[in-house]
Structure 1
């Protein structure tokens, strides 16, 4: 919501976005925090198929985008490999949940 407000979105757009937002809190362990932050950064890099006459299906975050993000943001090959695996795991699980919600609509 802060991003919409910062970009000067009209109040009715911000209110509509708030109505669609699912409120949830979760504990993120300290050693997972960097992967969660990078996962959020990659939020615009989803592979989505379908749409139009069919419901969209989220396939996951585009692997080359993950690699580019890690190469720019993270030092150390072993650390990048671990974060890559963590992000792919989160992407797969998020895609499963998103697709279940879309199918239930």
Structure 2
């Protein structure tokens, strides 16, 4: 369980998913949506109606500190914007 601002989120990381030296798959599940790394598809998340936010990073700390690189329209409707950090987007998704 991660504490982000005043909220909680469930984090999941699969280190070096494709083998040694490969990137990790990271997702952080919030109350109304989730943050995800580039391994996952925004297009599929949108088709499923998910409020998903893509943020680059190799650790939970990186994902929370880095800027949003993409989002589904559903996440934008909740108030996520492209100038936010992952932590700020998580706060929005936890409202």
Query: Greater Rg, structure 1 or structure 2?
Result: 1
Q: Shorter-chain TM-score: what band?
A: under 0.3
Larger % of strand: which?
2
Larger % of helix: which?
1
Query: Structure 2-normalised TM-score?
Result: 0.26
